[in-house]
Chain A
Amino acid sequence: EAGVVQSPRYKIIEKKQPVAFWCNPISGHNTLYWYLQNLGQGPELLIRYENEEAVDDSQLPKDRFSAERLKGVDSTLKIQPAELGDSAVYLCASSLQGNEQFFGPGTRLTVL
């Protein structure tokens, strides 16, 4: 069974530029999460989807961050414009039911 797929794995951009990350969850998993992980910290939830619906986006900085999950499968997370402080690893995870979440490898973003 394929795991959670994320692309790109690495991205380097200049500040004020837009950037987008893509996630393909494990087949059949209805719940999808985007996390932000800063260096030396644990992942922090940005947004959680149940199928197409964003059920928890309270930690998503909505002035510059947006996300979508069309058709309840793949998801994209966008930052526009990016700031220096956005440099981090962006993790996508999915789950079927219960508490266990399966994580992708993450996208390491560097904003110069």
Chain B
Amino acid sequence: DQQVKQNSPSLSVQEGRISILNCDYTNSMFDYFLWYKKYPAEGPTFLISISSIKDKNEDGRFTVFLNKSAKHLSLHIVPSQPGDSAVYFCAATEGGKLIFGQGTELSVKP
């Protein structure tokens, strides 16, 4: 039973354009959401997060949007750069436990 779902296994975007990565969840008790970025042969690195009491958080080129009624989370990257090419994981917390989605592989083409 997947509580956090990333239904797009891959996404390809042109450099300079917007990348939108989506995430859906089922557990309304989740209180915090995070995005992690992972390069091959490395561990995931924290990118940006949002509390369940907010609907938007922005950090430079990265913005995370939370729609609690739809149980939907999205990560926007503007403008996308080739160095953003990686696997992006959405994660949610409940009681200190992180639950990850399956990941979306982003490819930003020059």
Contact = CB atoms under 8 A, between A and B. Distances in A.
B55 to A, nearest CB: 18
Contacts of B42: 105-106
A56 B97 contact: yes
B62 interface: no
Interface in A63-95: 91, 93
Interface in B88-109: 89, 91, 93, 96-103
B interface, size bucket: 20 to 34
The prevalent SS among residues of B at the interface is strand
Contacts of A100: 34, 46, 49
A8 interface: no
23 contacts: A4-B43, A31-B96, A33-B98, A40-B9, A42-B4, A42-B89, A42-B100, A42-B102, A43-B44, A44-B100, A45-B99, A56-B97, A91-B43, A99-B93, A99-B96, A100-B46, A102-B46, A103-B36, A103-B44, A103-B45, A105-B43, A106-B42, A106-B43
Given A41-B102, A101-B98, A102-B46, 11 more contacts: A42-B4, A43-B44, A43-B89, A43-B100, A44-B100, A45-B98, A48-B97, A101-B46, A103-B44, A105-B42, A105-B43
Interface of B: 4, 9, 32, 34, 36, 41-46, 49, 89, 91, 93, 96-103
